[in-house]
Structure 1
Amino acid sequence: MHDSVSEIFEIAAGRYLSAVDAEPNRSNQHEIGGLPKVGFKSVLGTPPKSDKYLIRTTMAYIPDEGDDAPEIVRDTVSWYDARWRKPDRSPEYRLYYRNNPVSTRIREGDLMIIARKHDGELVILFTPPDSSASLQLESLFGLHSLEEKFARAQLPAYSLSLPLKYLLEELGVQAIDLEDAEDDLQLVLDRFPSHFPRTSEFSALARERFPADPIGNPDSTLLAWMEREEALFRAYERHVVSERLRKGFGDDGEDVDEFISFSLSVQNRRKSRVGHAFENHLSEIFHRRSLRYEKGGRTRVTENESKPDFLFPGFDEYHDPQFPSDRLFLLGAKTTCKDRWRQVLAEGKRLDRKYLATLETGISVTQTSEMISQQLELVIPGPLHESFRAEQRPVIWSLASFTDAIACAQR
Structure 2
Amino acid sequence: MKRLAAVEINPSLSNQHEFNAGRLRRELGLTGNPCRGRIDFLFYLGDDQTPVTETERYTLYDSRLNKPRAAEWRMYYTNLGVSEHARANDLMLLFRPDPSSTDLVAVIACRGTAIERALSLDLARREPEDLVGMLFADSQSLNPQTIGVLLQVLRRPEPQVDLREHDFARHPLLLRSAARGAMPTTAEMAAAAQAIVSETGVTPEDPDDFLDSSLDAETGLFTAIELELGNRKLAAIPEEHRLDFDVLRSFFMSFLQSRRARRGQSLENHFRYLLESRRIPHAYQCRTEGGKTPDFIFPSCESYHDPAFPDDHLRMVGCKTKVRERHSQWLDEATRIRLKFALCVDDRLTDALLLRYEDRLRFFLPRRLLDTTYAARESRPLLGSVGDLIAEVASI
TM-score (norm 2): 0.56
Q: Which amino acid aligns with 2:258?
A: R
Q: Which moved more, 1:347-356 or 1:182-191?
A: 182-191
Query: How far apart are residue 155 of structure 1 and its match?
Result: 12
Give the Cα–Cα distance (whole angstroms) in 1 for the partners of residues 318 and 370 of structure 2: 19
Cα RMSD (Å) of the superposition? 2.8
Give the Cα–Cα distance (whole angstroms) in 1 for the partners of residues 146 and 254 of structure 2: 38
Partner of 1:76: none
CA contact (8 A) 2:343 2:363 kept: yes
Q: Which amino acid aligns with 2:385?
A: S
Q: How does 1:221-370 map to 2 (within 5 A)?
A: 221-249=210-238, 251=240, 253-296=242-285, 300-370=286-356
Structure 2 unaligned segments of length 5 or more: list them. Answer: 1-142
Q: Which amino acid aligns with 1:196?
A: M
Query: How far apart are residue 341 of structure 1 and its match?
Result: 1.3
Shift of the 248–378 alpha-carbon distance from structure 1 to 2, 3 Å rule, reads: same
Shift of the 319–312 alpha-carbon distance from structure 1 to 2, 3 Å rule, reads: same
Greater relative contact order structure (CA < 8 Å, 6+ sep)? 1
Give the Cα–Cα distance (whole angstroms) in 2 for the partners of residues 248 and 179 of structure 1: 32
Q: Which amino acid aligns with 1:357?
A: L
Shift of the 381–304 alpha-carbon distance from structure 1 to 2, 3 Å rule, reads: same
CA contact (8 A) 1:307 1:347 kept: yes
Partner of 1:392: 379
Query: How far apart are residue 367 of structure 1 and its match?
Result: 1.2
Q: Which amino acid aligns with 2:296?
A: F
CA contact (8 A) 2:168 2:224 kept: no
CA contact (8 A) 2:169 2:225 kept: no
Partner of 1:401: 388
Give the Cα–Cα distance (whole angstroms) in 2 for the partners of residues 160 and 257 of structure 1: 48
Give the Cα–Cα distance (whole angstroms) in 2 for the partners of residues 157 and 184 of structure 1: 33
CA contact (8 A) 1:185 1:236 kept: no
Structure 1 unaligned segments of length 5 or more: list them. Answer: 1-137, 145-152, 162-176
CA contact (8 A) 1:332 1:355 kept: yes
Give the Cα–Cα distance (whole angstroms) in 1 for the partners of residues 174 and 326 of structure 2: 36
Give the Cα–Cα distance (whole angstroms) in 1 for the partners of residues 171 and 382 of structure 2: 44
Per-residue deviation, residues 91-141 of structure 1 (Å, max 9, x unmatched): xxxxxxxxxxxxxxxxxxxxxxxxxxxxxxxxxxxxxxxxxxxxxxx85xx
Q: How does 1:77-156 map to 2 (within 5 A)?
A: 142=145
Query: How far apart are residue 321 of structure 1 and its match?
Result: 1.0
Give the Cα–Cα distance (whole angstroms) in 2 for the partners of residues 251 and 394 of structure 1: 57
2:195 to 178, 191, 208: 208
CA contact (8 A) 1:182 1:235 kept: no
Q: Pick the structure with greater CA Rg.
A: 2
Give the Cα–Cα distance (whole angstroms) in 2 for the partners of residues 321 and 214 of structure 1: 38
| Matching of residue 379 in structure 1 with residue 368 in structure 2 | no
Q: Which amino acid aligns with 2:250?
A: S
Query: How far apart are residue 371 of structure 1 and its match?
Result: 1.8
Query: How far apart are residue 249 of structure 1 and its match?
Result: 4.1
Partner of 2:88: none
Give the Cα–Cα distance (whole angstroms) in 2 for the partners of residues 157 and 208 of structure 1: 29
Shift of the 354–156 alpha-carbon distance from structure 1 to 2, 3 Å rule, reads: closer
Give the Cα–Cα distance (whole angstroms) in 2 for the partners of residues 407 and 385 of structure 1: 22
Query: How far apart are residue 259 of structure 1 and its match?
Result: 2.5
Give the Cα–Cα distance (whole angstroms) in 2 for the partners of residues 155 and 402 of structure 1: 26
Query: How far apart are residue 352 of structure 1 and its match?
Result: 1.1
Query: How far apart are residue 338 of structure 1 and its match?
Result: 2.0
